[in-house]
């Protein structure tokens, strides 16, 4: 019984640690590029011409996040990771 519990605990630990390492640095860079592009397009559609875009490196589990600034105009962009939909404040 103890051996069985040890094997289950080891398998669970391996599965959980593997998910934390699932995304490579290149995958995160691609994600930031996707968030930046989607947020920039939405901002331009709302009248911003060439805003500075600062993208959070990883976002939350469900959303990518960016801050856009152009002069006194500042907006927050939320990018839904599942649907790719974007909303600006």
> What is the predicted pLDDT for the residue at 5?
41
pLDDT in tens, 46-84: 999 999 999 999 999 999 999 999 999 999 999 999 999
> What is the predicted pLDDT for the residue at 9?
46
- The whole-angstrom separation of Cα 17 and Cα 37 is 31
> What is the predicted pLDDT for the residue at 19?
38
> What is the predicted pLDDT for the residue at 23?
85
- The whole-angstrom separation of Cα 61 and Cα 1 is 36
pLDDT in tens, 6-48: 444 444 444 444 434 468 999 999 999 999 999 999 999 999 9
**Residues written for the chain:** 89
Tokens of 33: 């590029």
């Amino acid at each position: 019984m103890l051996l069985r519990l040890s094997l289950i605990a080891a398998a669970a630990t391996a599965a959980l640690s593997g998910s934390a390492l699932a995304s490579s640095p290149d995958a995160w860079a691609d994600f930031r590029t996707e968030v930046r592009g989607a947020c920039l397009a939405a901002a331009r559609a709302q009248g911003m011409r060439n805003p500075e875009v600062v993208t959070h490196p990883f976002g939350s589990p469900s959303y990518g996040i960016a801050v856009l600034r152009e002069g006194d105009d500042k907006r927050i962009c939320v990018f839904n990771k599942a649907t790719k939909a974007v909303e600006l404040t």
